[in-house]
Amino acid sequence: MEDKIKKIREELDNDIKDITDLNKLNDIKVKYLGKKGCITELTSNMGELSIEERKEVGKLSNEIRTYATDLITSIEEKLKLEELNKKLESESIDITLPATNIPMGAPNILEKVIEEVEELFMSMGYDVYDGPEIEEDKYNFELLNIPKGHPARDAQDTFYIEGNEILLRSQTSAVQARVMLEHEGKEPIRMICPGRTYRRDEDDATHSHNFTQIEGLLVEKKDISLSDLKGTFDALAKKLFGENCVTRFRPSYYQFTEPSVETDISCFACNGKGCSLCKNTGWITISGAGMVHPNVLRMCGYNPDEWKGFAFGFGAERCAMLKYGINDIRTFYNADLREVGSFDRKESE
Ligand SMILES: [Zn+2]
């Protein structure tokens, strides 16, 4: 009997040695522990044995049954765990896969420049005004000291809506005239008015029949001088082009200011040493400005003996072009997403 059991045990160990499959393990289970399995059969002839023999056979067959059951169960658990792991592995999600690229867009560069300017001037107590793009000749020209027939009108030839009186504004200065009249010569004014303007220009890389002007006006009872304008313009240049940017005035002529100046900023590309951007001068012209002409103050309801002011204006596109290295003004208006995309890259750099 003992030999028989030893043989069964050796056979079982051998059968189970290289098992990797639950089905095959089940076959082994049947072979040894099934109803007709060889371990079950050990006790099939118990009735024919003596009491002593029954005890002996019962004990030995129980031992081998326990041994086989434990062994098969442990292998079964091991194989089930392996199978589960394999399944989990094959069903796992690879979170390192690149996501679908959804274009996020970026702030419009022109709006961004306008917002930066608005932010600066609001921090200095200025209000931001808006005005009509379809304007009367009176506000666009006459109140700004450009009477009918004045040659200065040629440079600002615009589009007329009705006769000679209703037109598309050629400058946002029209808003300044409106705001001055609104305040009836009684209150100081600090305002900027960014907005779209129109001129009958041939479109090319630096001209557009519509463009964005940002103008500012300050009217005070106190002594206001060119040095106040210079300080204000300096702050603007530093805000837009960096802390190292310095400014200079050159004498100029406009009908609505006296004296008038053209304002230059030091070239931010070469720090004033001279390069292709500044045409080797070290300076870039950016704006026109000056002290508000007494005639303009008077016509807009302010007594020039009591009130003084300065005004300035510049093109938002020109600033954006310089700041972001854009070489064609039409880029802002032709709605080509590829070019807008190149703005995005510049923004993130
Ligand atoms: Zn330069």
DSSP assigned state of 3: H
CB–CB of 177/189 below 8 Å?
A: no
Dist. CA 270 → ligand 1 center (Å):
4
Q: Which two tokens stand for residue 267?
A: 């070239």
Dist. CA 86 → ligand 1 center (Å):
66
Q: Residue 127: in which H helix or E strand, if any?
A: strand 127-128
d(CA 345, CA 341): 7
Please write the tens of the pLDDT for every residue from 114-132: 999 999 999 999 999 999 9
Tokens 């003004």 -> residue: 329
d(CA 170, CA 47): 121
Report the pLDDT value the prediction gives residue 342, as an integer from 0 to 100.
59
Dist. CA 325 → ligand 1 center (Å):
13
Dist. CA 321 → ligand 1 center (Å):
14
Q: Which two tokens stand for residue 87?
A: 């399944």
Residues contacting residue 273 through CB under 8 Å, at least 6 positions apart = 267, 282
Dist. CA 204 → ligand 1 center (Å):
23
Dist. CA 329 → ligand 1 center (Å):
20
> Which of 153-157, 206-210, 286-290, 330-334 has the weakest average pLDDT?
153-157
Q: Which two tokens stand for residue 21?
A: 């499959």
Report the pLDDT value the prediction gives residue 348, as an integer from 0 to 100.
43
| Buried/exposed 85-102: b ≥16 CB within 10 Å, e otherwise | eeeeeeeeeeeeeeeeee
Looking at residues 295-313, what average pLDDT do you find? 94
In 3D, which of 330, 191, 347, 322 has the Cα closest to residue 266? 322
Report the pLDDT value the prediction gives residue 195, as an integer from 0 to 100.
94
Average per-residue pLDDT for the chain: 87
Please write the tens of the pLDDT for every residue from 128-155: 999 999 999 899 988 888 888 888 777 7
| Strand, coil or helix: 108 | coil
pLDDT level of residue 349 (50, 70, 90 thresholds): very low
pLDDT level of residue 345 (50, 70, 90 thresholds): very low
Report the pLDDT value the prediction gives residue 346, as an integer from 0 to 100.
45
Dist. CA 297 → ligand 1 center (Å):
38
Q: Which of 15-24, 175-184, 264-273 has the highest mean pLDDT?
A: 175-184
Dist. CA 16 → ligand 1 center (Å):
85
d(CA 229, CA 349): 33
Dist. CA 119 → ligand 1 center (Å):
27
Report the pLDDT value the prediction gives residue 96, as an integer from 0 to 100.
80
Dist. CA 246 → ligand 1 center (Å):
13
**Better-scored residue on pLDDT, 42 or 228:** 228
Q: Which two tokens stand for residue 215?
A: 């103008």
Dist. CA 113 → ligand 1 center (Å):
21
d(CA 225, CA 296): 17
Dist. CA 316 → ligand 1 center (Å):
20
- Residue 344, pLDDT > 60, answer no
Dist. CA 284 → ligand 1 center (Å):
8
Dist. CA 240 → ligand 1 center (Å):
16
- Residue 106, pLDDT > 90, answer no
Report the pLDDT value the prediction gives residue 17, as an integer from 0 to 100.
84
Give pTM, 2 decimals: 0.66
Please write the tens of the pLDDT for every residue from 257-277: 999 999 999 998 888 888 888
Tokens 């040894």 -> residue: 32
pLDDT level of residue 233 (50, 70, 90 thresholds): very high
Q: Which two tokens stand for residue 263?
A: 């304002």
> How far is C-alpha 37 from the geometric centre of its chain's CA atoms?
75
Dist. CA 343 → ligand 1 center (Å):
22
Peptide bond into 259 cis (omega under 30): yes
- Residue 8, pLDDT > 90, answer no
Dist. CA 266 → ligand 1 center (Å):
8
**Cβ atoms within 10 A of the Cβ of 117, count?**
22
Can you list the alpha helix ranges (DSSP code H) found in the chain? 2-17, 22-33, 38-41, 51-91, 109-123, 137-140, 152-155, 173-182, 226-241, 294-299, 316-324, 337-348
pLDDT level of residue 321 (50, 70, 90 thresholds): confident
